[in-house]
Amino acid sequence: MKPMTIGRLSNSAKVKVTTIRYYESIGLMGTPDRSASGQRLYASADVERLSFVRHARELGFSMDAIKDLIGLQTEPDQDCSAVDTIAQKQLAEVQKRLAQLEALERELKRMIENCRGGKVGGCQVMAAINDHSECETDKHERLKPL
Amino acid sequence: MKPMTIGRLSNSAKVKVTTIRYYESIGLMGTPDRSASGQRLYASADVERLSFVRHARELGFSMDAIKDLIGLQTEPDQDCSAVDTIAQKQLAEVQKRLAQLEALERELKRMIENCRGGKVGGCQVMAAINDHSECETDKHERLKPL
DNA sequence: GCTTGCCTCTACAGTCGCTGTAGACTGTAT
DNA sequence: ATACAGTCTACAGCGACTGTAGAGGCAAGC
């Protein structure tokens, strides 16, 4: 069980060094031991914890949700429905976002198909952006960044 | 053609007052006339321009892309292929994002379906986040926020 | 004229989840 | 001994806004 430096942890868990320090600063990673010269020292359990965070991020969970999940992980005797709830919420958000993006895709395709070339002045794409009146995306809330 | 204040423009174009000022600060809205007391004064052309920006944002275009589109709008005699290119690029990004989210949806569904209740210690959702080894989302680049 | 109450002004800090930079120190290989 | 990669702290920046503070402007009712 020899401790590893932050760089090795970074390689093992595939999370950048700077990001690890950031996670520490927001309380996701606890405060690691330090060597005599002040370098952070990690154990293999930290690789797992950090990988867990990375996987959860890849699944689109927010930092807050991940904090909750980590909290639950440390109480293995609790009922697992809290975990299920968080995952369900995440799925619902993904599906909502999917619906928005599908509407967007239809809209963009429609715009592009109507474009027959020519000058900007008569461009149907421009016209479509300008006259958005009967567009379904209008009904949705503001789109999060792509 | 009586000029309107920023609040009326905000109502007409459905863009918040603060956002209008922000757009001005990044050069999307030009510098409006001012009343004797320093209040911004807009014309109906500004409603159209601002609505155009809002529609483009709703379609997910980046600020840079919108700047380009506005630039093109002011030269109506140019060939419209530049507009088409920007829209195509946007569609491609939407489709890429859709593919990512669909993979995510499958993954989350799989996780949740495997959950049979019980204690956190044996939770399959947790296990799925932990052991992500054969997960397709791993192959994708980092996910943008939902 | 005066008050009420909303509108507008500027300037700057905060959001999220990091990333990048500067400048100094540490550890290891040759 | 030297070179070079790794690590440290502290802080600024990203995009696209949003929120705040504190001041001044404007129209309507009394």
Q: How many C-beta atoms lie closer than 10 Å to residue A102's C-beta?
A: 15
- Kindly report the average pLDDT of chain A as a whole number: 85
pLDDT at B59 over 70: yes
Compute the C-alpha angle B141/B53/B101, nearest 5°: 25
Cβ-proximal residues to A66 (8 Å cutoff; 6+ apart), any chain: A28, A53, A56, A57
Region B37-44 average pLDDT: 95
- The pLDDT tens digits for B25-38 are 999 998 999 999 99
Mutation for A interface: B59, B69, B105, B136, most A CBs within 10 A:
B59
Strand D bases contacted by the protein (CB, 7 Å): 6-9, 15-20, 24-26
pLDDT at A139 over 70: no
Q: How many C-beta atoms lie closer than 10 Å to residue A95's C-beta?
A: 15
Compute the C-alpha angle B130/B133/B136, nearest 5°: 110
Mutation for A interface: B14, B54, B58, B98, most A CBs within 10 A:
B58
Could you tell me the two tokens for B123? 């939770």
Say what the alpha-carbon torsion angle B2, B14, B57, B32 is, to the nearest 10 degrees. Answer: 30
Smallest Cβ–Cβ distance between B75 and the set A98, A120, A125 belongs to: A120
Backbone phi, psi, residue B41, to 5°: -125, 130
Please report, for residues A38, A49, A112, B70, the alpha-carbon distance to residue A6 in angstroms, rounded to integers and kept in the order given: 12, 14, 49, 47
- The pLDDT tens digits for A26-80 are 999 989 999 999 999 999 999 999 999 999 998 888 999 999 899 888 887 788 8
Give yes or no for a contact between B94 and A105, defined as CB atoms under 8 angstroms apart: yes
Smallest Cβ–Cβ distance between B120 and the set A73, A105, A143 belongs to: A73
Cα radius of gyration (chain B):
23
pLDDT of res. B79:
82
Q: What is the pTM of this model?
A: 0.81
Give yes or no for a contact between A41 and A32, defined as CB atoms under 8 angstroms apart: yes
Least confident residue range of A45-59, A106-120, B37-51: A106-120
Which residue is the nearest neighbor of C17, CA to C1'? Answer: A63
Confidence class of residue B12 from pLDDT cuts 50, 70 and 90?
very high
pLDDT of res. B126:
82
Taking Cα atoms as reference points, which of A78, A51, A45, A83 lies closest to residue B121? A78
Confidence class of residue A138 from pLDDT cuts 50, 70 and 90?
very low
- The pLDDT tens digits for B87-128 are 898 898 889 888 888 988 888 888 888 877 677 777 877 888
Maximum CA extent, chain B: 71
Cβ-proximal residues to B19 (8 Å cutoff; 6+ apart), any chain: none
pLDDT at B137 over 70: no
Please report, for residues A33, B41, B46, the alpha-carbon distance to residue A87 in angstroms, rounded to integers and kept in the order given: 32, 49, 44
pLDDT at A116 over 50: yes
Taking Cα atoms as reference points, which of B53, B64, B92, B81 lies closest to residue A105? B92
Nucleotide of closest approach to B61 (CA, C1'): D16
In whole angstroms, what is the distance from residue B126 CA to residue A56 CA?
A: 10
Least confident residue range of A84-93, A125-134, B39-48, B95-104: A125-134
Smallest Cβ–Cβ distance between A123 and the set B83, B91, B130 belongs to: B83
pLDDT of res. B42:
97
Cα radius of gyration (chain A):
23
Which residues on neighbouring strands pair with residue A42, listed in sequence order? Answer: A4
